[in-house]
Structure 1
Amino acid sequence: MPRKSSRPTVATIAHDLGISPATVSYALNDKPGVSAPLRERVLEHARAVGWTPHSGAQALRRGRSGNIGLVLVRDPEEVSREPFYSAVTAGIESATSARGYELLLRFVRGGPDEEIDVFRAWAHQRRVDGVVLLDLAEGDHRPAILESLALDFALIGHYVGPEDFVKVTTAESEDARTVVDHIVERGYDGCIQLTGPADFAHERRRLELLRRLCAGHGIPHTHASGSYTIDAGSRSFTQANRDLSARPAVIASSDLLALGALRAAADRGIDIPSELGIVSWDDSLIAEVTAPAITALSRRPFEMGRTAGDLLVQRIDAQVAGGTALQNPPATLVPRRSTGAA
């Protein structure tokens, strides 16, 4: 025999108060036909018994699924060690759940085409009401596909296109200037930039920004790219031209890349920070507790995700217009021992 649910419902409230379920529903949903004293009595009893709206029923009434989708084209095990993506995902979930939506997360390894297959399946099955896009590439065709599927979407990045979407941008120009100014102030005379995958638009922007800023300071610049992993950081540092200046600094696009470079430098007997500086574009507990601790940009990825999730739900609920864009505040540099800072 199935166990009886202890969750208070409209029917149980109606039974407790000796009134009809329709009257309880009208009172809870602030509809006409219920006197003010009776409405207050229903609301007070609902609070007392811990009644909450049923999200599934609400979604059905709205003609929606009540779900927000997020697809990560990454190895799940890799993401479990990547603080930035974990924080962004947590921020999205925090915002969407607060507004009564569930986050539907999917990992794929087949690249953007497999990601688009997931979007098509979700749209066909009406599994999600909107999605959040990450890691926009140059000439990315996902926005056009999502618009053709009539799915609302929010993206984190600087994409500009004709589609109807909302976005959260980052202060990349200011952040790049903060990092380069820091290494110059600490006496480093060259820049070894380690980026993530070269097809990501944000990595191309960072590369161009740092090249230009280094040229402005009259210091040489070189770069290497790889995935956002410790091993890739070690390989990229090994492959990069480390003799471009007397005392260069590594600027890595993630904490894991920075940690990989730090380990590779230590294996070669390179002293940090006297011979080589290291800065991460993303701060995390990893950057804080490694030895030496890594100077990093605190970009608040949780807030970035939360803003994107909240903006998407507002778009779905027609509370903001398509084209709305919010900027994440410029990052704060956290100086640590990897650049000789306290």
Structure 2
Amino acid sequence: MARGRNSGKATITDVAAVAGVSVAAVSKVVNGKGGISEPTRQRVLEAAAKLQWSPSAAAVALRGARTRTLGMVVGRTADLLTADPHFAVFISGIESQLSPLGYGLLLHIVGEEPEAELRAYRRLAEERRVDGVILTESRIGDTRFDLMRRLRLPALLVGTPWQDDPIPQVQAAGQDTGLREAVDHLVELGHRRIAYVSGPEDRVHTTFRRQVIESRLAGHGLRPSHVVVADFTAQDAADAVGNLVEPAAQRPTAIVFGNDTMAVAGVSAARRLGLEVPRDLSVIGYDDLPLGEIVHPRLTTVNQDVEQLGRAGAAALLALLGEAGVSDVAPPRPPSLVVRESTGPAPRG
């Protein structure tokens, strides 16, 4: 039998011949269409497997029209994900929505080289391994949204898109609420030297949060005493605290961190330097992850409803794909300040 005359690979005609059916019947099996008996469907699948017919097409045939899998590519290093529980909580929200419907999540951790992330999306599309993808952490000049459209890969962003891109998106309303409350809380406690330790500057949400803090401080006639660009890691937070507390005369009396992991590390670093939290230094985190409740002092933080963000994002993408079994999911709550023990009155003098 001639197998793919020009390429040496089997064709749909070869599969039809081996299965003893028409090309139209093979096409119906591949695309999950009706009108095909189960014995015929099995013959087509067996023929496709025997001929090792077109890997991507064979995968579709073996699984039906849908993979029942969503993808997520994370442009972070594995050690950074280990240190930051944010993604674990976010993924648990996604899985709580996928699992009851028989869907799975295919997770790729590709490091921080942008081209590696784009290559991962291309592979997912070309190999038809997922029905759609969940995007996170929009960046300044983000090229992923155009790529999704070129690949015709259904995608949904959890967060704020770069330059109001029309990509489908899910995010909580009132994104500025929690940080505005955090600044007001510190000012009411008498703090005037307030520093901000942020995440990477190429993230849209990092830029937005810095603008919110600066604007709210300006409303009180203040400006940040320091702004430190970090990488959401505990080590960067500890280094930032070490640099901020000297000289003592310019030391901030409060620090707002870009996430809870950095805030907890900041508290530990302050203690090693002989400072007590909140007596000498008040600390606020962001995310309200479970670890904030078990450290001492318990962490004042901005609740972002991370698990619900994952749940709402997965539900919205499934609805976009036409999944009939998706139930209504409440939108994530606006971020809000949770006051605990790591903030207190500004130290005198």
Check whether TM > 0.5: yes
Q: How does 1:153-192 map to 2 (within 5 A)?
A: 153-159=155-161, 160-169=163-172, 171-192=174-195
Are the counterparts in 1 of residues 172 and 335 from structure 2 also a CA contact under 8 Å?
Answer: no
The alignment status of 1:207 with 2:231, answered yes or no, reads no
- In structure 1, the partner of 2:243 is 239
Shift of 1:237: 2.2
| Unaligned stretches of 5+ residues in structure 1 | 1-30, 32-55, 320-325
Residue by residue over 1:101-135, the C-alpha shift from the partner in whole angstroms, topping out at 9 and shown as x without a partner, is 21111111142211110110010000011101111
Call closer, same or farther: CA 1:71–1:294 in 2, change over 3 Å.
same
AA aligned opposite 1:112: P
CA distance in 1, matches of 2:220, 2:333: 25
| Unaligned stretches of 5+ residues in structure 2 | 1-33, 35-58, 325-329
Shift of 1:185: 1.9
CA distance in 1, matches of 2:164, 2:222: 35
Pick aligned residue for 1:140 from 130, 139, 142: 142
Call closer, same or farther: CA 1:234–1:187 in 2, change over 3 Å.
same
Instruction: For residue 281 of structure 1, give the secondary structure of its aligned residue in structure 2.
Output: strand
Range 259-268 or range 208-217, more displaced: 259-268
Shift of 1:60: 4.3
Call closer, same or farther: CA 1:244–1:111 in 2, change over 3 Å.
farther
The alignment status of 1:198 with 2:201, answered yes or no, reads yes
AA aligned opposite 1:195: S
Shift of 1:258: 0.6
Q: How does 1:26-105 map to 2 (within 5 A)?
A: 60-61=63-64, 63-105=65-107
Shift of 1:163: 4.5
After superposition, the CA RMSD in angstroms is 2.6
Shift of 1:233: 0.5
- In structure 2, the partner of 1:119 is 121
Are the counterparts in 2 of residues 190 and 244 from structure 1 also a CA contact under 8 Å?
Answer: no
- In structure 2, the partner of 1:253 is 258
Instruction: For residue 69 of structure 1, give the secondary structure of its aligned residue in structure 2.
Output: strand
CA distance in 2, matches of 1:294, 1:158: 26
TM-score, normalised via structure 1 length? 0.75
CA distance in 1, matches of 2:61, 2:316: 20
Number of aligned positions between the proteins: 280
Call closer, same or farther: CA 1:59–1:310 in 2, change over 3 Å.
farther
Pick aligned residue for 2:332 from 311, 328, 335: 328
AA aligned opposite 1:171: G
- In structure 2, the partner of 1:20 is none
AA aligned opposite 1:214: L
Instruction: For residue 133 of structure 2, give the secondary structure of its aligned residue in structure 1.
Output: strand
Instruction: For residue 339 of structure 1, give the secondary structure of its aligned residue in structure 2.
Output: coil
